[in-house]
Amino acid sequence: MFENIDFSKMGEMLQKAQEEAKKMEENSKNKEFTAKSGGGLVKVTANGAGEIIDLEIDDSLLEDKESMQILLISAINDVLKMVEEDKKLVASQMLGSLGGFGG
């Protein structure tokens, strides 16, 4: 299991992993993910850090609070799933670049 691992380089590998994680976090903030619900009546945009950065609500929903709430929840959940999937993908790529641990 550990035949091909040079443990004398573990500190160097951990430092590289920390640098990659920091770079990944910075890059994530620059990514944008958008989800729509209700055929585009609600549109939510989040950055890769999971922060909602834009929200659009069609005027037709302003009279229908219940529908607006349902569509907002749906769009927010969808965009947060996109962010989470991207984080998992980037993390697995990072692990792969460190010599295949967990990948």
Digit-coded pLDDT (tens) for 51-94: 999 999 999 999 999 999 999 999 999 999 999 999 888 878 77
* Assigned domain for 11 exists: no
Residue with tokens 């990948």: 103
33: number of Cβ within 10 Å = 20
Cα separation, 59 vs 73, whole angstroms: 17
| 43 contacts 75 by C-beta, under 8 angstroms | yes
Listing from the earlier edge strand, what are the strands of the sheet with 32-37?
32-37, 42-47, 52-57
* Assigned domain for 83 exists: yes
Number of domains in the chain: 1
* Assigned domain for 15 exists: no
Query: Looking at residue 51, what DSSP letter applies?
Result: -
Looking up residue 42, the CATH number of its domain turns out to be: 3.30.1310.10
**Local structure of 103: helix, strand or coil:** coil
pTM of the model: 0.72
Query: Looking at residue 99, what DSSP letter applies?
Result: T
pLDDT attached to residue 67: 97
Rounded to an integer, the average pLDDT of 26-38 is 90
Q: Give the residue numbers spanning the domain of 47.
A: 30-97
pLDDT attached to residue 102: 45
